[in-house]
Homo-oligomer: A and B are copies of this chain.
Amino acid sequence: MQQECIVLNQDRNVTLTAYIQPVGGRFEYIPKRPAILVLPGGGYQYCSVREADPVAFAFLKAGYQAFVLNYSVGKFAAWPNPLEDVEQALTMIRSREDWNVYPDKVAVIGFSAGGHLAAAAATLAEERPNAAILGYAVAGSDVTGCNPTAPDTTKCVDQKTPPCFVFATCSDDVVPVQNSLDFCRALADAKISFESHIYAYGPHGFSTGVSGVHNRNTPLCDRVPDWVDDSVGFLRDVLGDFGDGKMTDPLCPRYTTGDNDPALSVDCTVGLLLENRQAVAVLGPLTAQLQGDLVKKMTLRGILGFAKMPADQINRIDEALRQIPNS
């Protein structure tokens, strides 16, 4: 592994540490790798080592290139400094040829204040990550208590926001669990795919939750360390897995329905399809059965599966719908 530490901004003490694994050779089916950028927590006052390398190791183990960003904190924490740092790091990760990163497979993970920053990158940045993992992240009205000039990310979720993985403990008394729930609510309302794990109990700042990072004498729900493998699985679902010479297609789409895609499909909600004259023509006599508020919220694929329509018939409808632009 090649380790490299780059000063991104000398004035603000911003550094990017790169952990780069080889490609090709004995990894012959791996020409490039997906990447993850780690944003440690520390209340925008410092960057905690407990949420830096130990997190990078988990994703290195999974085959990712890993990066740790020590972003602007303390007297340099004023917005938008930290977000600028993240964007600068993302741009570098995507463009440095010798790091062998798939530029469209770069995730970000952040904890506490770093989780706020990761969510800001996912919702506000010009240069967006392709997925975000948010650990007991500050959001909502608690943001200003942590960084007075920083934006409330629950209000910033948009259609460019990538899929997110959100975790926390229910009894966190530093960053209340409502922060995570409200950010999930915003994602759900925007139909962005997300995954969320809220564990029954445990204090703020558990990082990976294993005994080498979190003192086992401080009670922590024993399911907490599962978030690590679960988040690796989530990235595999939304970015794809290592295939033969390229990444496989993602199993989890970016949006929870097809309503945001450029063309129509059976993954659109019935309500959207019924508003489109061409779609109604494709559906023909089926249209009569697609009534009722509940049905309109369902995807066409969902309702046809419910009705046991054979897969090939569903596929034919899908092909026809995909000819129609979603306007």
Contact = CB atoms under 8 A, between A and B. Distances in A.
A55 to B, nearest CB: 9
Given A173-B269, A230-B223, A200 B305 contact: no
Given A173-B298, A203-B302, A49 B61 contact: no
A212 B25 contact: no
Contact of A221 (B173, B200, B219, B237): B237
Nearest to A2: B3
A238 B200 contact: yes
Nearest to A292: B145
B196 A197 contact: yes
Please tell me the size bucket of the interface on A: 35 or more
22 contacts: A22-B49, A27-B49, A33-B212, A54-B60, A62-B212, A64-B212, A170-B193, A170-B194, A171-B193, A171-B257, A173-B298, A174-B302, A181-B184, A182-B185, A194-B198, A197-B198, A201-B251, A215-B242, A216-B241, A216-B242, A223-B234, A226-B226
B170 A257 contact: no
A79 interface: no
Nearest to A1: B53
Contact of A29 (B163, B215, B228): B215
Contacts of A50: 26-27
A213 B222 CA distance: 21
Contacts of A299: 173
B223 A305 contact: no
A210 interface: yes
Interface in A1-54: 1, 3, 21-22, 25-30, 33, 48-50, 53-54
A125 interface: no
Closest 4 CB pairs of A and B: A63-B212, A57-B61, A196-B198, A195-B200
B63 A61 contact: no
Given A58-B61, A195-B200, A251 B211 contact: no
A265 to B, nearest CB: 14
Contacts of A26: 48-50
Contacts of A211: 63, 236, 241-242
B203 A194 contact: no
A199 interface: yes
A93 B294 CA distance: 36
Contacts of A213: 27, 63
B61 A174 contact: no
B252 A200 contact: yes
Interface string A185-210: 10011000111111111011000101
Contact of A302 (B173, B189, B197): B173
Contacts of A305: 203, 218
